Structure 1
Amino acid sequence: MTLNNHEGSDVFDYFQEVLPETPETHLIECQELFRIDLTQAMRNLRKATGLTQKEVAEKLGVTQSWVSKLESANNDHTFESVLAYLDALGADFEALIYWQGKEFTRVSTELKLMDENELQISEDQTESSLNLVPIESQNKSSTVNNIIRKQGFWGAIAA
């Protein structure tokens, strides 16, 4: 008969010896709990929509195995994969960022497929929405680019 050196001792005391509580281990624990909560929420959402893993896979153009791995907390997930999965289910993702114990900002991916009517926008709307750089900055940039074209990059610096 083999004697157990830890008989009668608390399992938590043993784990504390082997894996002490540090800021790093606490962060890892929080990350793993988040991963478990996220994948559970994803599975619950899929089931609420009445879709199977295979049906979600067909919508995404991937295999059922890929969806299964994405729904598992035992696999690493890219943010893009999670967003694609949620989009296939018609869901959105929103994150709250806290700073100094208070809500700092709320960020939503606003995933939504647009129909063709929403995509047809006027040229004025396109032009104004794509010109995000102020006109003054565009003019300065244009002037610098003209100098570089005429004198070369190093010539412009030496001049």
Structure 2
Amino acid sequence: MDYAEFADSRLAALSRYAVMLTGDPHLAQDLVQETMVRVQLNWRRVSKADSPDRYVRRMLTNQYFDWRRGSWLRRVLLRADPDEGVAATVDHAEATADRDQIWAWLSRLPRRQRAALVLRFYEDLPDAEIAEILGCAVGTVRASISRALTTLRAQLVEV
């Protein structure tokens, strides 16, 4: 498989994974684009890996960790102020409020815990693969997921 075939077959899945990590489709697109540039530049090494898909997912996860550490996110991430003059004609409040609340809870989790949750419950990966992607021990993955779920349960009880 060459780079173009790999990109065609995995781009959509990587984009979905990035959206779940970032919570922002635009930031996710940037994250995937930056990762795929790195994949192309290092294609020989990526293609020789036992599982190129897992290797690239780890690259994307590491890129996400690096992006969130840097101060550039605070300088570049722009959000429009809500337009208070426009009233909504259709009330989708219930579903939107639930979705927004879940995104808010997930956004408060530490990066590693959020990534572990996304890899477990969204990507449906076993502990060993999650540990390989996150570059940690299997026990650390289990502890991260447990702590994240405890935090989310506590936040749910508060509401």
TM-score for both structures, normalised by structure 2: 0.26
Larger RCO (alpha carbons 8 Å, 6+ apart):
2
TM-score for both structures, normalised by structure 1: 0.26
Larger Rg: 1
Say which structure is richer in helix: 2
